Amino acid sequence: MLKPPSDMPMYGNINEKTPLDFAGVDTRLPMLVYVSREKRPGYDHNKKAGAMNALVRASAIMSNGPFILNLDCDHYIYNSKALREGMCFMMDRGGDRLCYVQFPQRFEGIDPSDRYANHNTVFFDVNMRALDGLQGPVYVGTGCLFRRIALYGFDPPRSKDHSPGFCSCCLPRRRKASASNANPEETMALRMGDFDGDSMNLATFPKKFGNSSFLIDSIPVAEFQGRPLADHPSVKNGRPPGALTIPREMLDASIVAEAISVISCWYEEKTEWGIRVGWIYGSVTEDVVTGYRMHNRGWKSVYCVTQRDAFRGTAPINLTDRLHQVLRWATGSVEIFFSRNNALFASSKMKVCTICLSSIVIRD
C-alpha cells in the first residue's frame, strides 16, 4: 500500500534531528512517479506523443488529476504560483470550455545579443497574443496546462448552442463554405451530450479508450472534478463547493498493476489513442496538430503571460541546433499545410483564426 500525501499539513518539529529548523513549515511532498512504458521490437512507439499518451493513461489510474501540465525535462517552474494562475482561467466562469492554457516559452542561457533569435519573441509575444484574441493560441509542446477530458477528445460543454463568435462574423462566407466540407473522420468529436454523467455513453468507451475498466471509470470523475464552482447562478454545469476536499484513495497493488497494463505496447491496438484521443500521432509537430484538433471541436484556449515567467528552459545555443529546430518546425508546418489538418478545411466550429494560424506557421 502506498499512501498518497495526506490532506492535512504536516509540520516539522523542533525536536526532530533535521539539519534545518522546519518548525511550522509543511514538510509534505507531492506524489512522484517514474514511468517507463513497455517497448518491444516490431511496435511503432510514436515517440514523444506515444510516451505522453501512456502517461495520460497511467496517471488517469493512479491520480486522475482533471488537469495535466506538460513540461519538457529542461523546462522548470520559474514562478511557483504559475499553477494557480493557470487554474484561475480553468476555474473561471465559462472556463469549462477551455481546453488548455498555454504559457509562453522563455529561455535562459542565451547570449545577450540573441544572434539566432532563440527567444522567438515575435512568435511568443506578438503572434500568440494575437491568436489569444480569437479562438486561442496554438499548443507549442511544452508549458501547457490541459483539461484532461479535452485530451480525451470530448466536445466542450454546451457545444450544441454554439454561436458563431466575433471573428467568424467577419468572414461569414468562408465559414459556410468550409462547413460544407467539414468533419473528416478524425475531427469528429466523441459526443458526451451536455455533460450529464448519465448521458455519457459508457458502452462505446472500450472501443475508444481500450479495455481498462479503471481508466473508463476515471473519465466521468475527471470530467466532474474539472468543472468550475457552482457558486453563482450564472455558472452553468458547475460542481458544488467543497466537493474536492475529500482525501485521495490509497494506491494498492491492483491499481499499480492496472497502470502497468495500460502502458504496455499492445494497449493502444484497435483503440482511438493517437487518432482521436490524446496526443495525435503521425506528424513531425504533433503538438500543433493536437491543439488544432481541440480547437476544431470548439474548445477555446488561453495564452497566459504572467508578470514573472511561469516556466523557463534552456534554448539551443549553437547555430546547428537552432537550424535543426527551425527545420523541424518548417517541415511540420508544410506537412500540416498539405495534410487534412489544413485550416482551410476546418469544421464550422473552428473559427477563422486557424487560417491565420496556418499563415503564422507558414511564415515561421
Partner 1 sequence: MKPLHPCHAENKLVVISNLIPCAYGYTKILLHCNFHVPSSSSCCSHFVPPIPSRLLVLIRLVALAFFLMWRIKHQNEDAIWLWGMSIVCELWFAFSWVLDQLPKLCPINRATDLSVLKEKFEMPTPNNPTGKSDLPGIDIFVSTADPEKEPVLVTANTILSILAADYPVEKLACYLSDDGGALLTFEAMAEAASFANLWVPFCRKHDIEPRNPDSYFNLKRDPFKNKVKPDFVKDRRRIKREYDEFKVRVNGLPDAIRRRSDAYHAREEIQAMNLQREKLKGGGDEPFEPVKIPKATWMADGTHWPGTWLQPSQDHARGDHAGIIQVPLLSQSCATFHHHLSQSCIWSRTVLTYAFFRASGYAETTK
Binders of partner 1 among residues 294 to 353 (CB under 8 A) are 302-308, 312, 314, 352-353
Q: In this chain, which stretch among 52-60, 205-213, 269-277, 290-298 interacts with partner 1, using CB under 8 A?
A: 52-60
Minimum Å gap between C-beta 335 and partner 1 is 17
Minimum Å gap between C-beta 188 and partner 1 is 26
Interaction between residue 81 and partner 1 (CB under 8 A): yes
| Alpha-carbon gap, residue 264 to 267, rounded angstroms | 6
Interaction between residue 163 and partner 1 (CB under 8 A): no
Angle, helices 213-225 vs 253-262, to 10°: value is: 100
**Is 225 exposed, middle or buried, given 0-12, 13-18 or 19+ CB atoms closer than 10 A?**
middle
Nearer Cβ to partner 1, position 39 or 115?
39
Residue from the set 74, 114, 196, 249 that interacts with partner 1 by CB under 8 A = 74
Restricting to residues 165-194, which ones interact with partner 1 according to CB under 8 A?
none
CA distances, 104 to each of 41, 55, 107 (Å)? 37, 23, 10
Angle, helices 286-296 vs 47-62, to 10°: value is: 60
Residue from the set 85, 96, 223, 287 that interacts with partner 1 by CB under 8 A = 85
Residue from the set 99, 131, 219, 346 that interacts with partner 1 by CB under 8 A = 131
Triad 324, 329, 335: Cα angle to 5°? 125
Per the DSSP assignment, residues forming a β-bridge with 251 are 2
Amino acid, res. 145 = L
Restricting to residues 207-236, which ones interact with partner 1 according to CB under 8 A?
225-226, 229, 231-232, 234
Interaction between residue 253 and partner 1 (CB under 8 A): yes
Residue span 2-41 as binding mask against partner 1, x where in contact by CB under 8 A, dash where not: xxxxxxxxx-x---xxxxxxx--xxxxxxxxxxxxxxxxx
Interaction between residue 250 and partner 1 (CB under 8 A): no
| Alpha-carbon gap, residue 93 to 205, rounded angstroms | 29
Restricting to residues 90-129, which ones interact with partner 1 according to CB under 8 A?
90-94, 108, 121, 125-127, 129
Residue from the set 260, 275, 317, 326 that interacts with partner 1 by CB under 8 A = 260
Interaction between residue 73 and partner 1 (CB under 8 A): yes
User: Is the distance from CB of 292 to CB of 298 less than 8 angstroms?
Assistant: no
Triad 352, 357, 361: Cα angle to 5°? 155
CA 212 to chain centre: 22
